[in-house]
Amino acid sequence: MSTCPVIHNGEEAPKLDFGGTTPYEDYVHASVLHTLQKQASDDPREMSFLVITQIMELYFGLLVFEWRQAQRELRADDLRAAVRTLRRSDLHMQGLNAAWRPIARMTPGEFNSFRDALGEGSGFQSGVYREMEFLLGEKSRSMLVPHRAVPELHDSLEAQLHAPSLYDDVLAALHRQGLPIPAEVLARDVSQAYEVNADVEQVWAEVYRGDHRDLLELGEALTDIAEEFARWRYDHLLATRRSMGAKVGTGGSAGVAWLEKRTRRSVFPELWTARSFV
C-alpha cells in the first residue's frame, strides 16, 4: 500500500489512502449519524422533519454543555471566560432557531401526510430539552412525569431540578462581586421556577447605570440568550400554528394554546424589567 503523497498539476494533493476508515469518520462518526433516521411513514417529507428534529436535539445537548461550562467559570469568578462561553452559546441558539424554517413552511396537508406516524411523540418529551429549560431557570416538577419509566433519565432530571440554574450562579457571582443580592434569593429553593425580585432588578439597573464593564458584558450576554430563547419559543408557536392550526398537539397538549402560554414567560426576567430604571 502506497503512502507517498500524490502530485497533481505540480501540487501535493490531500492524502487519499488511509488503509481503513478515514480520520474524519473516526472523529465525527458520520456513518453512525446517517443510520439514525428511521422513518415511520412512506412520506418523503417526513425525512426533513426527522433530520431537523435530530439536529435540534444535538443543539440542545450542545447548549447544556456550554451552560454547564459557563456555570463552572462563574463559580470560579472568571467572568470574562463565562461571557465568552455565553456568547458562543448565543451563536448556537441562532443555529437552533434557524432549524425551524423548513418545518415552518410545511402546509397543514404536508404535515398531516405523516403526522399520524408520530403517535404521541412530542418535543416537550425531550429529556435534554427539559435539562436545557431547567438550566435557564424554568423549573417544573411536573415535567419529570414523562420520564418516570426511564429511571436513569428521571434521576438525572431530578438532580438537575434541585441544582442551581445558570441564573442562580450568575446572581451568586454578583453577590461575590459585592453587589447586594438579597439573602432570600441566594438561599431560595432552586427547584422552583425563578420569579422576579425587585431588589435584583435594582442591582441590574445599577450595573447598567454604573461603570461595571465586566458585569455589563455578562448582563448583555445573558440578555442575548434570553432573546434567542424567546425567539425559539415564538418560532415554535408560529410553526405549529402554520402547520396544524389550533388542533391538539401530538403529545396531547393544547397545542397552540400551550405554546402561547409559554411564550409569555421570560428567562432572566430582571434583565428585562431593570431597563425601565436606567
Domain of 160: which CATH number?
A: 1.20.58.480
Q: Is 236 annotated as a binding residue?
A: yes
Residue 39 in any domain: the answer is no
Please compute the mean of the pLDDT values over residues 68-92 and round it to a whole number.
98
Interatomic CA distance for residues 206 and 211, integer angstroms: 9
Phi and psi for 11 in degrees, rounded to 5? Answer: -120, 145
Residue 112 in any domain: the answer is yes
Q: What is the band of 128 on the pLDDT scale with cuts at 50, 70, 90?
A: very high
How many structural domains does the chain have? 1
Please compute the mean of the pLDDT values over residues 121-142 and round it to a whole number.
90
| Residue 142 · residue 75 · CB < 8 Å | no
Interatomic CA distance for residues 119 and 218, integer angstroms: 42
Pick from 56-65, 97-106, 111-120, 227-236 the range whose average pLDDT is largest: 56-65
pLDDT at 114 over 90: no
Residue 189 sits in which domain range?
45-245+253-277
CA-wise closest residue to 123 among 231, 238, 267, 253: 253
pTM: 0.88
Residue 95 in any domain: the answer is yes
Phi and psi for 8 in degrees, rounded to 5? Answer: -130, 120
Residue 65 in any domain: the answer is yes
Q: Is 75 annotated as a binding residue?
A: no
Q: Is 250 annotated as a binding residue?
A: yes
Residue 29 in any domain: the answer is no
CA-wise closest residue to 51 among 33, 25, 63: 33
Per DSSP, which regions of the chain are E strands? 7-8, 11-12
